Amino acid sequence: MDYQEIKRIIESCHLNFLVGSGASKPFFSTLNQIESVLTELNSMSFKEIENKTIIEASVKNYYFQKCIRGNLSIQHGTGSDYETAFNNYMTFVSSLYTILTKRRSNLVSKQVNLFTSNMDLFFDWSLEKSRFSFNDGFAGRMNPVYGTENFHNTIRKTSTHYEYKSDIPLFNLFKLHGSVNWKLEESQITYDNSLSILKDIDGKQLTASDCVTIEKEVEDKWVFLTIGEMEKEIQDKKIKLSDSHKVFLDSYSKLVMINPTKQKFETTTRDLTFYELLRMYSNHLERENSVLFVFGFSFSDEHIREITKRVANANPTLIIIIFCHDIEAKASIEKILPVRHNIKFICDSTGSSQLSLDEINKKYFMRLASELAKDGKQESNEESTPIESDDEPKPTT
């Protein structure tokens, strides 16, 4: 699939994006094998329940350090890894804004749906700092409360004199697994502007002596230890269950998020919200002439994967374009997604480079935004240039 084909799709389709943890590299680590370890841990029966608690606390402590804690400094982050990730997001949303504004089709709305399994705040802050209108599901000023019904809102601008109405480009941000700035209060999800839960967890992190080793280096690659290896280390190092493990897990449990496991939804306010978000994901993909761009996402999440497969089969007008990080990622996704005419893969087939968000921006979205902005400027200049007529006198020199 070449650039021109993608350009035609973008200009005429309802825009949807599915974004995973790979988009936030290098500032945040990807999930790697965390999901499979936690899933296995939940399904096992332990001879000593203390071992399970120690391992669970160790894995979640590792996950917090690698994938969550950085949000405490994301508003005013520093360092090359932060700047790379944040600039990638800023470029991405700015390009989308130009595309929504300049594309010629009037048959599709000036909205883009950003579905993400990430709990980080890169999308939130890049949209906020760009001063773009976005809907994150919260309503209210003094004490914002979350509700999926808020995603049905649109924003219009009305001129002062003639009451001419025009839609304003709008980003709908769906956090499918929750967010670090969500807080559960009295059966309602509220906006945790101060990130109080993260700060509480940060103050209760476990020390190295409290934890088992999570990963080891094997043939120049870092791999996770098996549950059995972790149990053996507990015995060898004589790690004992303490109040520190329980206090950390209790604080961690207050995060309004779906842990990276194949857990089933329950009937709590939190889980019903996640169920509703998945339903909205399905509904948007079922619309005629829709496109779903996927990047940084492995489809290891069972709920999202099965919904995507079902809608791809049911909606022949849906196009799914998956940007794969490398050949190995493409092969992995192809094993769990059906081969269909409306599912396309894009990656470097030579294996010489990796497809990061930066590369995707340069090759596709930033390039198209630049072309549309240039075309719009030329049309504006042509409209403002007076057309000469043979009946009009020509200036003499």
CA distance 181 to 169: 24
Spatial separation of the C-alpha atoms in residues 383 and 374, rounded to whole Å = 14
Sort strands 165-167 and 170-175 into parallel, antiparallel or unpaired. unpaired
How far is the C-alpha of 59 from the C-alpha of 64, rounded, in Å? Answer: 9
Nearest to 111, CA basis, from 163, 148, 144, 156: 156
**Which of 95-109, 182-196, 260-274 bottoms out in mean pLDDT, i.e. has the lowest?**
260-274
> Do residues 275 and 265 make contact, with C-beta atoms less than 8 angstroms apart?
yes
Contact call for residues 94 and 130 (beta carbons, < 8 A): yes
Q: What is the edge-to-edge ordering of all strands in the sheet holding 188-191?
A: 138-139, 145-146, 188-191, 182-185
In whole angstroms, what is the distance from residue 324 CA to residue 331 CA?
9
The CA-to-CA distance between both ends of the chain, in Å, stands at 55
Query: Could you tell me which of 79, 70, 73 has the C-alpha nearest to residue 24?
Result: 70
pLDDT band at residue 341, thresholds of 50, 70 and 90?
very high
Q: What is the pLDDT of residue 286?
A: 97
Q: What mean pLDDT do residues 214-218 have?
A: 86
Contact call for residues 67 and 21 (beta carbons, < 8 A): yes
| Residue 379 pLDDT | 59
Evaluate the CA torsion angle 33, 34, 35, 41 in order and state its sign.
Answer: positive
The closest alpha carbon to 324, from 288, 360, 289, 352, belongs to 360
Q: Identity (one letter) of the amino acid at 201?
A: I
Q: Inform me whether the pLDDT recorded for 164 exceeds 70.
A: no
Q: Check if the beta carbon of residue 353 is closer than 8 Å to that of residue 359.
A: yes
* Longest CA pairwise span in the chain (Å): 101
Percentage of the chain beyond pLDDT 70 is 87
pLDDT at 35: 74
Nearest alpha-carbon partner for 9 in 247, 238, 318, 224: 318
Q: How many whole angstroms separate alpha carbon 255 and alpha carbon 269? A: 13
Sequence-distant (6+) residues with CB within 8 A of 361 are 88, 91, 92, 95
Predicted local confidence at residue 56, as pLDDT: 92
pLDDT in tens, 237-283: 999 999 999 999 999 999 998 876 665 555 566 788 999 999 999 99
Query: Of the ranges 42-51, 316-325, 331-340, which one carries the lowest mean pLDDT score?
Result: 42-51
Confidence (pLDDT) at 391: 46
Q: Which of 143, 168, 139 is nearest to 151 (CA)?
A: 139
Query: How far apart, in whole angstroms, are the C-alpha atoms of residue 365 and residue 243?
Result: 50
- φ and ψ at 70, to 5 degrees? -60, -20
Confidence band, pLDDT 50/70/90 cuts, at residue 109:
confident
pLDDT the model gives residue 64: 94
Mean pLDDT score across all residues of the chain: 87
Q: Is the pLDDT of residue 389 over 60?
A: no
Residues 12-38 have pLDDT tens digits of 999 999 999 999 999 998 777 777 787
Nearest alpha-carbon partner for 285 in 322, 264, 316, 258:
316
The two beta strands, 165-167 and 156-158, are: antiparallel
In this prediction, residues 102-114 reach a mean pLDDT of 86
pLDDT higher than 70, residue 122: yes
pLDDT over 60 (residue 390):
no
Instruction: Give residue 155's pLDDT.
Output: 72
User: How far from chain centre, in Å, is Cα 217?
Assistant: 29
pLDDT at position 392 over 50: no
36-40, 138-142, 158-162, 223-227 — most confident range: 138-142
Across the range 142-152, mean pLDDT stands at 91
Average pLDDT over residues 306-330: 94
In this predicted model, which residue has the larger pLDDT, 89 or 224?
89
